[in-house]
Amino acid sequence: MTAPGEGVPVVVLAGGSSRRFGSDKLAAPLGGSSVLERAVAGVPTGWPVVLVGPERPLRRPGARWVREDPPGGGPLAAVLAGIAACGGEVVAVLAGDMPAGGAALPSLVDALRPDDAVGAAVAEDDDGRVTPLLAAYRRSAVEGLALGSGHGGRAMALLDAGHVAVRVGRAGARDVDTPRALAQAEADLTEG
């Protein structure tokens, strides 16, 4: 298991328009906090956090904010901008609307480390769906994809880096895209 003191940088995606949710999903209340605060709180202590999106108040000490260029370029552009703002060969990625995803980051990083030929360790839910927005990436593998700025591109292109899937369960991979998903995330808190 990766020790928190190892300080793997984490890119948190904190932009987007929340169209399906109907209002700012990252600010939605969840368990006495917000969706974004819960996601960031799950990142291991000592791991540097770089958020990509419009700056907003956040309790995490030392968190930095950056923007993709141009702003609003989508999740792939945000991931690439965040990775560019981080140091290190291994960088973790967490969508800000995945309130339980931070707890999976050490397992994802650990799954990536044994095999230098693998470019990513990607979260998989109980139904076998993978998400490139909860993952650990080798910088060299992502750079080798030649994705440019990523503006308007699909985040699934990151899987072309060659990946292993890591089962994180339904709650770990849950993203809060709709009010119903928020209610499910709230239920996850009482069950966990």
Predicted confidence at residue 1, as pLDDT, reads 41
pLDDT for 24 equals: 81
Domain that holds residue 102: 4-191
Specify the DSSP class assigned to residue 134: E
Six-digit token string for 35? 């969706």
| DSSP 8-state assignment for residue 124 | E
Q: How many residues does the chain have?
A: 192
What total number of domains does the chain contain?
Answer: 1
The answer to whether the beta carbons of residues 180 and 159 sit under 8 Å apart is no
Burial class (CB in 10 A: 0-12, 13-18, 19+), 191: exposed
pLDDT per residue rounded down to tens, the chain (192 residues): 444 446 899 999 998 666 667 668 899 999 999 999 999 999 999 999 999 999 998 999 999 999 988 888 889 999 999 999 998 999 999 999 999 999 999 999 999 987 788 999 999 999 999 999 999 999 999 998 988 878 888 899 999 989 999 999 888 999 998 889 899 999 988 886
- Cα–Cα dist 44/105, whole Å: 8
What CATH number does residue 148 fall under? 3.90.550.10
